[in-house]
Structure 1
């Protein structure tokens, strides 16, 4: 895909959901239906220009493919090819997203275990609250990433084999042996909206980490720092938390993309939609690529993350006796003196989340 100055880091998404990969996926669908491999046409620009007249790229593509075999596309409709191609591309993209999430899980599990007892002050509504540990904070990050990965793992990527109106009339007329259980979701867009929601869950989880890194790397806090901060065009002394900023950028935009997918689903009408379907393609492309970029950037952010336990301890000490006010109240209510530690079951939580992470990594393909 051409370099994208509008979305720094877009190259991390590689060939996923490019026009070229879309073309390859559509030809793959047609080849599977025909029962033999077809050569992918090379004139992508011509095909893109011709797509406007039919409202989608399949009509022009079929014209080219029938130069190789007249039986191409018989019984299918354009939506069968586009939807099936999008699902195949999405499945490949999700594999890549999960690979980066698992890299993040590996690093987070190590950080949580290392810092399970590293004291720091918890913050609620931006203010000091009670004592906690950095391992507990990391375990919260890790939980979000594991939950996002579980949602991705539960996705399915069905082909669309329905024919002109979902009835498969042409296929039956042709005497095709139809594969059992293949869904027809022409106007029931749950496969797309579920995918969109799962991808947004990933950027939510990544932003959960980035938000804390941005805050905790402020000079007046200084508890965390990115491994190699980004520079400034005018201030050579700055080391900006660029990866965190870019991850936050993705999380600010992906929910609106998923909302567009839901709006398109709600606009389905009759037996094939008049615009709702067409709105999905570029929306899904942007959502997939931005999630890929964010997951990759998060993995790199965590790989280089620098932790300052001494600064954390100093901040906790500087918070003074106020952070134990709740403990004194609870101890008085319970009728005993305050315990030496006020961490509740934080350590047990860290251990449980780390164990869950190891189980996820062991089970991953």
Structure 2
């Protein structure tokens, strides 16, 4: 997958692609069939070990469906999805045609497979984002400590305010990234299986009792490595919370990018990217391209999350007519773009260059006006930096903690 109009999209590689979605849907169908087999509710003429999803529980003896459909079938599946409104319907038809086993998809509904498949895709994206957050935190902590004594001008409402240090400014960036880390760590996307209307009616009929139906779901969840949860067909908080966590990430990265863009202006010259981008017409330019692209993602993410909230608020009955459908591509786009922005932010921070001499010069030129507040509170032999060191130390201590 590539996107010519979203430069950097290739950083996300195979995450959230059509191929990834198809693989996830096949994992769900296979895991459910494995659960049926495990509980003695289906028979296969060619049983073979069913491989668990990475990070999942122990596999169960059942046919593996993942080899029956692959990327060569995507075009046909995409075309045929229009007839029933989702890609699971043609996928199930294809599996039943090609598999030498009964009870494929028995007890499930399309929403079970698609919701849980998307959860698997989002889980993979989140793992990548967490890696880049860790890189960002390490880089920011080092910058904050190294520049705790690098004096510079603080700016409020675009104007000079009071003296500060670049280390404290970076500490503010770090706090935003730590908030993003914690928000993402709090997400634990669960399995979503409820049958046709969220009542587990068909699984109960298959298994013989409600308790055994819930055991089927629990077994499937264990195989996929997902938390167990009661059906959430029309209670979309797991997805809106996840989207909000992604936006918390892009918000934090956007703030960093904005500050770098200001600091990299030639008339300010306090910051620069490790490797600037060129221009097709002006060879003298070294554009702060990473910051530009990160800011782009930060601007685009909130409307995508808003779409998911609108869809959740517009849900009706036991399967919404359109508001469920709008979630799929929206989630995929938001997650993939967040992955890209996370990688770009990690590169930006590991290569960021500060110019302490320029910072000091700007501060000197801002005097005596910038010291007005200090004079208001009386003369002092100490630099007017308040609790700067204590704040930096406290945030660095938080950065060293493991996320919840």
Give the Cα separation in 1 of the matches to 2:357 and 2:333.
Answer: 42
Shift of 1:40: 4.2
Between stretches 129-138 and 30-39, larger displacement belongs to 30-39
1:236 alignment partner, one of 264, 279, 283: 283
Give the Cα separation in 2 of the matches to 1:70 and 1:330.
Answer: 82
Could you list the per-position Cα deviations for residues 271-306 of structure 1 after superposition, in whole angstroms to 9, with x for gaps in the alignment? 110000000000001100110010100000111111
Q: Which runs of 5+ in 1 are unaligned?
A: 332-336
Runs of 4+ in 1 over 6 A off after TM superposition: none
SS state at 1:279 partner: helix
Give the Cα separation in 2 of the matches to 1:245 and 1:258.
Answer: 21
Which position in structure 2 is the counterpart of 1:12? 11
Shift of 1:182: 2.7
Which position in structure 1 is the counterpart of 2:90? 60
Could you list the per-position Cα deviations for residues 202-229 of structure 1 after superposition, in whole angstroms to 9, with x for gaps in the alignment? 0001111100000000001000000110
2:387 alignment partner, one of 319, 334, 345: 345
SS state at 2:153 partner: strand
1:48 alignment partner, one of 60, 78, 90: 78
Give the Cα separation in 2 of the matches to 1:194 and 1:15.
Answer: 24
Which position in structure 2 is the counterpart of 1:126? 158
Superposition RMSD in Å? 1.2
Give the Cα separation in 2 of the matches to 1:14 and 1:339.
Answer: 56
Which position in structure 2 is the counterpart of 1:334? none
Which position in structure 2 is the counterpart of 1:356? 398
Give the Cα separation in 2 of the matches to 1:276 and 1:188.
Answer: 12
Residues 27, 40 of structure 1: 8 Å contact kept: no
Shift of 1:338: 2.7
Give the Cα separation in 2 of the matches to 1:63 and 1:150.
Answer: 42
Matches for 1:115-154 after TM superposition, within 5 Å? 115-154=147-186
Matches for 1:279-298 after TM superposition, within 5 Å? 279-298=326-345
Give the Cα separation in 1 of the matches to 2:241 and 2:256.
Answer: 23
Give the Cα separation in 2 of the matches to 1:343 and 1:214.
Answer: 25
Give the Cα separation in 2 of the matches to 1:64 and 1:130.
Answer: 67
Aligned length: 356
Which position in structure 2 is the counterpart of 1:321? 368
Asked whether 1:98 is paired with 2:126, we answer no
Give the Cα separation in 2 of the matches to 1:157 and 1:238.
Answer: 45
Between stretches 294-303 and 175-184, larger displacement belongs to 175-184
Q: Which runs of 5+ in 2 are unaligned?
A: 35-61, 219-227
SS state at 1:320 partner: coil
Shift of 1:324: 1.2
SS state at 1:75 partner: coil
Could you list the per-position Cα deviations for residues 239-283 of structure 1 after superposition, in whole angstroms to 9, with x for gaps in the alignment? 000000000000111000000000110110011100000000000
Could you list the per-position Cα deviations for residues 296-338 of structure 1 after superposition, in whole angstroms to 9, with x for gaps in the alignment? 000001111111001001110110111111111123xxxxx33
Give the Cα separation in 2 of the matches to 1:284 and 1:182.
Answer: 20
